[in-house]
Amino acid sequence: MTDRDHLVQRLAEIAAAIDGRDWETIADAFTPDAHGYGRDGGPAAIVAQMRAHLDGVGPTQHLLGNHRVEVDGDRARTLTYARVHHVGAGPMEGSFYECMGEYDDRWVRDGDTWLLARRSFEIRIGLGDFAVLRGAD
């Protein structure tokens, strides 16, 4: 696989892990000092932030596309469009929140894999009720 192919595959694996609430796989996708979703402190802080928004949500689906990949040796940047649908659960059952935006990811090569050093997501369109995003009861 080319570096580009590997990075696009990693993006798909991480999206599937988010939808599957596979927090261990998500934590393992980040460098020890990573920044993501507005949080410093590495994988534990990033996963805690994600759980605060997803543990109380029903099913989600992260659709990714329009990948732009820049590789410079053992560093890379990917810009990826995403359309993410969140189904309400518990007190938010019957509601949804859908957002469309772009992931801006910075990667470092670690042996034969790529790890996220920095991740941000810019929401450009939001539909439905943002309150669907919530932690566990």
Q: What pLDDT, on a 0 to 100 scale, did the predictor assign at position 137? A: 86
- pLDDT digits 0-9 by tens, 77-136: 999 999 999 999 999 999 999 999 999 999 999 999 999 999 999 999 999 999 999 999
| CA atoms within a 13 Å half-sphere pointing along the CA-CB vector of 1 | 11
Q: How many residues does the chain have?
A: 137
Contact 116, 31 (CB under 8 A): yes
Whole-structure pTM value: 0.96
What mean pLDDT comes out for the span 50-65?
98
Distance of CA 104 to the CA centre of its chain: 10
Band (pLDDT 50/70/90 cuts) for residue 73 is very high
